[in-house]
A and B are shown apart, each in its own frame.
Chain A
Amino acid sequence: MIFTLKIWRQKNATDKGGLVTYKIGDVSPDSSFLEMLDQLNQQLVGKGEDPVAFDHDCREGICGACGLYINGRPHGPLKGTTTCQLHMRAFRDGETIYIEPWRSEAFPIVRDLIVDRSAFDKIIQAGGYISVNSGGMPDANTIPVPKPNADSAFDAAACIGCGACVAACPNASPMLFVGAKISHLALLPQGRIEAARRVQKMVAAMDTLGFGNCSNAYACQAECPKEISVANIARMNREFLAAKMFAEKEKNVGFTL
């Protein structure tokens, strides 16, 4: 197969950047999208040019490192598929493909197709965990969890933190990511105790990191490579509202959250 590639090139965070056109031939339909980029990079290195920088690691669709706009869509045309699991058979021979980095104020560009997603880590650090020390735990089976809850928690926890939800959202909102995290922990008995505190802290972090808010476009769900449901956003909103009411009550009895 042959393709014309229009790829965003940008040397560093301060460089202006722009689309550059490349031609590539002899691409196997069984190549993954990233293997096609490897092939292009081999050509560029051969000519002494800088290869295209892109984030990738496991290439099994689980580490969440990869992620590109492909023809304007995060992770490309296939539903529920990461860029590394997208294969060239999903494209027409001779097609022109636009390849760009995630665009969001909270994800500044590092180089070419690589962005800085450490804002996600900051949201987790704000409270996306259960506060437990490693030591002196009760036996695991003393905390029974209804199977439907465990399954739903797993569905939410399947988020790979790639940032496609932010990239897809017209407001660059991370609420699918945050909602997934909130749901994962809120659905489990061990996470319940801190739930009110957690949602308030994570939402506060989200607000200060330059992300936008959810306006129910649902593009995040449509483009999520792990098909995380927007129901998680609803759960997060419910948790948030409940936490605020709870906080009022607690203030009356002298607690602070």
Chain B
Amino acid sequence: MIKLNANAPNAPLADQWDAYKASCKLVNPNNKRKLDIIVVGTGLAGASAAATLGQLGYNVKSFCYQDTPRRAHSIAAQGGINAAKNYQNDGDNVYRLFYDTIKGGDYRSRESNVYRLASISPEIIDICVAQGVPFAREYGGLLANRSFGGAQVSRTFYARGQTGQQLLIGAYSAMSRQIAEGRVKLYSRRDVLDIVIVDGKARGVIARNLVTGEIERHSAHAVVLATGGYGNVFYLSTNAMGSNVTPAWSAYKKGALFANPCFTQIHPTCIPVHGEFQSKLTLMSESLRNDGRIWVPKEMEDAELIRQKKLRPEQIHESKRDYYLERRYPAFGNLVPRDVASRAAKERCDAGYGVSTSGRAVYLDFSAAIERLGRSEISARYGNLFQMYQRIVDDNPYRTPMMIYPAVHYTMGGLWVDYELMTTVPGLYSIGECNFSDHGANRLGASALMQGLADGYFILPYTISGYLSSEINTPPIATTLPEFHHAAREVSDRLARLKETNGKESVDHFHRHLGKIMWEYCGMSRNEAGLTKALGLIAALKQEFASGVKIPGGLKEYNPELEKAWRVQDFIELGDLMVRDALLRKESCGGHFREEYQTPDHEALRNDDEFAFVAAWEHKGRDAAPDMHREELRFETVKPSQRSYK
């Protein structure tokens, strides 16, 4: 029986991290160069970890599926990164950032990890500025800040609408410096398809060279997964096309627990779905809600005329507009957290007030802000986002309000990790979006970039030394060990089986089908009947895939269809686990809304007495149901209360 223990230091919350650092074991510099570490993924978490571990003197092997580490999906983050710097003198501090994050996550994250995240946040800004990240500045030369959804202080640092890109270039360049110095060896265009366990410890990975198709074995004293989220299980999401769950899923099958898989964040401000062949959804930064006002027509007839394109939104008089967020949540207005904004948009559209031809969109209107601040100020703040919107939708948001709708954005679930960010497999770590610990049931804006960089620059490099200090006498791990043979054989066999299936349907066909099941039954609102139905549908889809998928091309060549097939097969299995997790959680919390559990005015109704725990799932074999283990969450500093943004 697995006993889940977060192993947070025994000290008052605010002192835990210092206490940990003061007593954790170190590895001396001469021994560091004898130790190998594999880091899978090169986003904010993976690149910052690889750079820092290299700088400390370890031998780092870095893997990414892209052609270069500068393209990881972190690059697409637009809005910003939070830090409790209190540069604006508006009363911000570490405790407040911690409190907002715990509350925003609807009390389903771990106090110790979140407090550490908040306390490290100021240092992240310092390192990024030292690296030359061109954050927005005031005329006095100091850093500028803005506010973001879910917060009443301005603590978000940003670089126009391309914060993720700038932070990633910072981490990528730090990593490039280590590559030049020989401390980091880069393996790009590699899919990591399995984790190798030797004597119960993570000792390496099996990777497929995407260009040659060759199956490679790589060993290390520890393995770090920084592979991001699994939002692509929904097919349409804001994630990059290649974002996948495969390395994390391999870890799950090798004994790491997968925590809270059903916690998916739905982002309220995305460009709505337009057609059948659409491949992905594009997010419009949440920062737009600082100045944009969200509304739908008050009168059902007006909405109908708009959908028929007989009426333009500009023609609807102010008095006939329903600014429903300002109406329902006067204190936070358009800045309510993402789950609240998303549900409210869906509620209005479900009630028949949606404004696109599909009826699945609401307006985000800048006319008042343009009047107040002038077009040039709005353009300075959001110009590139407006341009992007115009390109995709072919409409000018300076004149006509944007149409937006919620879309799958970020996954808060992930591999279960303890305070040291280690999974239940010794020597296997999980950082950034790939783990579960910091965002609870709902991620606030500008907190993902913060977590990725905190884990990579400042947490993992310390915590991993505790484990590695007991490995200094372990010589380099030989890839000729039987465990490597076995894992490589299994990978080759599964690839061959996929290739030989020779069915009739493309991989995308199955992926789209899975996406529809997940969105319909396990999306932003769920109920028991739908989830139960989804279990059956997914089981059937799994069968159909096994006999019906068709993959052209060979095994030993560049074969994107084969890559996708492996990923989609993993997504189907993950979908099953997500539905089981959603079924079990008989409460509404964060971005996860169970229709059976709501307040009389249709807000999410949490059940702390029964569900203040992390559901961590253990794989029990291919055809067996997984086991659920509980990590009870204790809130000693913040007392859970009904979230209210009114």
Q: Does B66 contact A (CB under 8 A)?
A: yes
- Contact of A30 with B274 in the complex, beta carbons under 8 Å: yes
- Contact of B126 with A140 in the complex, beta carbons under 8 Å: yes
- State the Cβ distance, A126 to closest chain B Cβ, in Å: 7
Mark each residue of chain B from 60 to 95: 1 if its CB lies under 8 Å from any CB of chain A, else 0.
000000111111010110000000010100000000
- Contact of B394 with A137 in the complex, beta carbons under 8 Å: no
Say which residue of B48, B55, B142, B241 sits within 8 Å of A133 (CB atoms).
B55
Residues of A contacting B387 with CB < 8 Å?
Answer: 80
Interface-side segment among B171-179, B585-593, B609-617:
B171-179
Residues of B199-231 at the interface with A, using a CB-CB cut-off of 8 Å, are: 211
Q: Does A87 contact B (CB under 8 A)?
A: yes
Q: How far is the CA of A45 from the CA of B509 in the complex (A)?
A: 11
Q: How far is the CA of A144 from the CA of B143 in the complex (A)?
A: 8
Residues of A contacting B482 with CB < 8 Å?
Answer: none
- Contact of A38 with B277 in the complex, beta carbons under 8 Å: yes
Chain A residue, CB-CB nearest to B554: A50
- Contact of B87 with A141 in the complex, beta carbons under 8 Å: yes
Q: How far is the CA of A190 from the CA of B275 in the complex (A)?
A: 47
Say which residue of B71, B85, B160 sits within 8 Å of A57 (CB atoms).
B71
Q: Does B458 contact A (CB under 8 A)?
A: yes
Say which residue of A58, A127, A130, A191 sits within 8 Å of B240 (CB atoms).
A58
Q: Does B51 contact A (CB under 8 A)?
A: yes
- State the Cβ distance, A33 to closest chain B Cβ, in Å: 11
Say which residue of A61, A132, A154, A161 sits within 8 Å of B70 (CB atoms).
A161
Chain B residue, CB-CB nearest to A137: B126
Residues of B547-567 at the interface with A, using a CB-CB cut-off of 8 Å, are: 550, 552-553, 557-558, 560-561
Residues of B446-465 at the interface with A, using a CB-CB cut-off of 8 Å, are: 457-458, 461
Q: How far is the CA of A150 from the CA of B134 in the complex (A)?
A: 6
The tally of residues in B whose CB lies under 8 Å from a CB in A reads 82
Chain B residue, CB-CB nearest to A115: B67
Q: How far is the CA of A146 from the CA of B179 in the complex (A)?
A: 32
With A30-B274, A64-B71, A65-B67 as contacts: A147 and B392 at CB distance below 8 Å: no
- State the Cβ distance, B493 to closest chain A Cβ, in Å: 23
- Contact of A114 with B143 in the complex, beta carbons under 8 Å: no
Chain B residue, CB-CB nearest to A186: B132
Residues of B contacting A9 with CB < 8 Å?
Answer: none
Secondary structure type dominating chain A contacts: loop
Q: How far is the CA of A59 from the CA of B550 in the complex (A)?
A: 25
Q: Does B474 contact A (CB under 8 A)?
A: no
- Contact of A116 with B67 in the complex, beta carbons under 8 Å: yes
Residue among A65, A116, A126, A129 with the most chain B CB within 10 A? A129
Residues of A contacting B68 with CB < 8 Å?
Answer: 117-118, 120-121, 161
Residues of A contacting B98 with CB < 8 Å?
Answer: none
Residues of A contacting B132 with CB < 8 Å?
Answer: 130, 153, 184-185, 188, 190-191
- Contact of B392 with A85 in the complex, beta carbons under 8 Å: yes
- Contact of A38 with B274 in the complex, beta carbons under 8 Å: no
- Contact of B277 with A50 in the complex, beta carbons under 8 Å: no
- Contact of A34 with B279 in the complex, beta carbons under 8 Å: yes
With A42-B508, A58-B240 as contacts: A190 and B388 at CB distance below 8 Å: no
- Contact of B508 with A38 in the complex, beta carbons under 8 Å: yes
- Contact of B279 with A59 in the complex, beta carbons under 8 Å: yes
- State the Cβ distance, A176 to closest chain B Cβ, in Å: 16
Q: Does B140 contact A (CB under 8 A)?
A: yes
Q: Does B371 contact A (CB under 8 A)?
A: no
Q: Does B622 contact A (CB under 8 A)?
A: no
- Contact of B66 with A65 in the complex, beta carbons under 8 Å: yes
Say which residue of A85, A130, A154 sits within 8 Å of B160 (CB atoms).
A154
Q: How far is the CA of A141 from the CA of B138 in the complex (A)?
A: 11
- Contact of A57 with B166 in the complex, beta carbons under 8 Å: no
- State the Cβ distance, A206 to closest chain B Cβ, in Å: 15
Residues of A contacting B282 with CB < 8 Å?
Answer: 59-60
Q: How far is the CA of A105 from the CA of B73 in the complex (A)?
A: 28
Q: How far is the CA of A35 from the CA of B125 in the complex (A)?
A: 38
Chain A residue, CB-CB nearest to B394: A89
Q: Does A219 contact B (CB under 8 A)?
A: no
With A118-B67, A128-B173 as contacts: A51 and B394 at CB distance below 8 Å: no
With A62-B162, A116-B67, A161-B70 as contacts: A146 and B141 at CB distance below 8 Å: yes
Chain B residue, CB-CB nearest to A126: B180
Q: Does B634 contact A (CB under 8 A)?
A: no
- State the Cβ distance, A25 to closest chain B Cβ, in Å: 13
- State the Cβ distance, B385 to closest chain A Cβ, in Å: 11
- Contact of A188 with B561 in the complex, beta carbons under 8 Å: no
Residue among B69, B275, B279, B550 with the most chain A CB within 10 A? B279
Q: Does B52 contact A (CB under 8 A)?
A: yes
Q: Does A28 contact B (CB under 8 A)?
A: yes
Q: Does B305 contact A (CB under 8 A)?
A: no
Q: How far is the CA of A88 from the CA of B138 in the complex (A)?
A: 40
Say which residue of B55, B76, B280 sits within 8 Å of A62 (CB atoms).
B76
Q: Does B165 contact A (CB under 8 A)?
A: yes
Residues of A contacting B172 with CB < 8 Å?
Answer: 124
5 pairs across A/B with beta carbons < 8 Å? A48-B550, A51-B561, A56-B241, A110-B211, A144-B142
Binding site for B on A (CB under 8 A): 11-12, 28, 30-32, 34-35, 38-39, 42, 44-46, 48-51, 53, 55-65, 78, 80-81, 85, 87, 89, 110-111, 114, 116-118, 120-121, 124-135, 137-141, 143-147, 150-151, 153-154, 157-158, 160-161, 184-185, 188, 190-191
11 further interface pairs, Cβ-Cβ under 8 Å (given A57-B240, A125-B176, A158-B165): A32-B279, A35-B278, A35-B279, A45-B550, A49-B552, A50-B552, A132-B130, A133-B55, A146-B141, A150-B134, A157-B166
